[in-house]
């Protein structure tokens, strides 16, 4: 496969990831198609992450380590996107076809990128894609449940045209969900693909990297309110998430976070027609409405063939 067709850049905001970042580096070094540039934004690390990154950059010419001034503490949501753009603005290359955001606490197979980008090649409507995320639990890998139309923020790719169509990421919690729905509004398909080669091993439970997972679930609910999620849908999401770790309280905190944001009058994302489109998509999932945007079905069961 000719890498000239798959020019891609990756941006990774990281902070205090010395325990996990060596695995990410090994995964990137093993890729069958290396990136044009991997920008790693060290967002104030104090645990040795910086030294690990700089050593790796010395042996990988496509690796660009950017040191960002320390804000004083880990900041998820808007802080992640702020760090992403700090790296984006300092990229050396302007010639790329795909752009990815990647976390610093994951592992993936050597042909992850090649396999994922092959789907973009075969589906002209595909704007954003990722694999599925799995969490090590004892001796097993347990999937972090994600709808097939939602790409996962741990390591997701955007076709450059799609990324520019949606205006990039908003600097707020739920930036990834907003980006996905904006992409659909712009008539792009978004997919997390169930394929063994595309399994992402996440070393931490989603939302647990700052003040613990229960705090993360409150933040998730607040982000859902900011995004504009329908009240009926957030109740269903909360009930659904009660069935996974941390059982009951995780889902309950999502609902509490959503309600508290409403009580406090939190500002909401206000892109024209976004909430109307989002509600139609969410209610379609509950069989109460139909989505507004329609796309041609993918040819030859492209995604269902590996599900």
The secondary structure of 140-201 as a DSSP string is EEEE----TTS--TTEEEEEHHHHHHTTS--SSTTHHHHHHHHHHHTT-EEEE---GGGEEE
Q: Which of 156, 102, 148, 147 is nearest to 127 (CA)?
A: 156
What are the tens digits of pLDDT across the range 225-283?
999 999 999 999 999 999 988 899 999 999 999 999 999 999 999 999 999 999 999 99
Q: pLDDT value at position 76?
A: 62
Residues of the chain with pLDDT under 50: 1-4, 207-209
Q: pLDDT value at position 3?
A: 47
What are the tens digits of pLDDT across the range 87-104?
999 999 999 999 999 999
Q: pLDDT value at position 75?
A: 59
Class of domain 3-202 as given by CATH: alpha beta
Domain boundary assignment for the chain:
3-202, 213-285
């Amino acid at each position: 496969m000719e890498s000239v067709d798959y020019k891609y850049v990756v941006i990774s905001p990281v902070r205090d990831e010395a325990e996990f970042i060596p695995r990410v580096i090994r995964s990137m070094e093993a890729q069958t198609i290396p990136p044009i540039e991997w920008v790693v934004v060290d967002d104030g690390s104090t645990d040795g992450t910086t030294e690990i990154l700089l050593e790796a950059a010395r042996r990988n010419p496509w690796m660009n380590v950017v040191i960002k001034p320390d804000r004083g503490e880990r900041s998820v949501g808007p802080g992640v996107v702020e760090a992403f753009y700090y790296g984006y603005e300092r990229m050396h290359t302007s010639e790329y076809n795909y752009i990815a955001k990647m976390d610093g606490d994951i592992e993936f197979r050597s042909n992850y990128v090649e396999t994922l980008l092959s789907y973009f090649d075969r589906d002209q409507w595909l704007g954003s894609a990722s694999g599925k995320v799995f969490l090590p639990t004892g001796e097993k890998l347990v999937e972090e449940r994600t709808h097939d139309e939602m790409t996962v923020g741990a390591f997701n790719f955007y076709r450059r045209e799609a990324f520019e169509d949606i205006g990039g990421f908003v600097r707020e919690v739920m930036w990834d969900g907003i980006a996905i729905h904006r992409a659909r509004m712009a008539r792009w398909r978004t997919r997390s693909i169930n394929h063994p080669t595309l399994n992402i091993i996440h070393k931490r439970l989603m939302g647990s990297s700052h003040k613990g997972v229960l705090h993360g679930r409150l933040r998730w609910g607040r982000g859902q309110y900011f995004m504009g999620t329908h009240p009926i849908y957030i109740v269903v999401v909360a009930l659904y998430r009660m069935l996974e770790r941390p059982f009951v309280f995780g889902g309950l905190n999502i609902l509490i976070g959503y309600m508290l944001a409403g009580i406090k009058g939190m500002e909401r994302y206000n892109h024209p027609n976004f909430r109307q489109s989002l509600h139609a998509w969410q209610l379609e999932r509950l069989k109460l409405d139909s989505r507004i945007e329609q796309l041609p079905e993918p040819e030859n069961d492209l995604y269902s063939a590996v599900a």
